[in-house]
Amino acid sequence: MHVQLAGGLARRGSEPLGDRCPIDVAMQAIGTRSAILVLREAYYGVTRFDEFAARTGLTEATTAGRLKALVEQGVLEKLPYQEPGQRKRYEYKLTASGDALMPVVFALAQWSNEHHVAAAPIELSHAGCGAPVTIKAECGEGHTVEMEQLTVSS
Amino acid sequence: MHVQLAGGLARRGSEPLGDRCPIDVAMQAIGTRSAILVLREAYYGVTRFDEFAARTGLTEATTAGRLKALVEQGVLEKLPYQEPGQRKRYEYKLTASGDALMPVVFALAQWSNEHHVAAAPIELSHAGCGAPVTIKAECGEGHTVEMEQLTVSS
DNA sequence: CGGCATCCTGTATGATACTG
DNA sequence: CAGTATCATACAGGATGCCG
Buried b or exposed e, range A46-78, using 16+ CB within 10 angstroms: bbebebbbbbbbbeeebbeebbebbeebebbee
Confidence (pTM): 0.94
Say yes or no: Cβ of A61 under 7 A from any atom of strand C: yes
DSSP assignment letter at B91 = E
**Smallest CA–C1' distance to D5, residue:** A61
Residues A103-120 pLDDT 10s: 999 999 999 999 999 999
Q: What is the pLDDT of residue A8?
A: 40
Question: How far is residue A111's CA from residue B95's CA, in Å, rounded to a whole number?
Answer: 13
Question: Do A138 and B136 make contact, defined as CB atoms within 8 angstroms?
Answer: yes
**Which of B3, B12, B15, B24 best tests the A interface by mutation, with the highest count of A CBs <10 A?**
B24
Residues A76-135 pLDDT 10s: 999 988 766 667 789 999 999 999 999 999 999 999 999 999 999 999 999 989 999 999
Residues A31-60 pLDDT 10s: 999 999 999 999 999 999 999 999 999 999
Is residue B74 scored above 90 in pLDDT?
Answer: yes
What phi and psi, each to the nearest 5 degrees, are found at residue A99? -60, -40
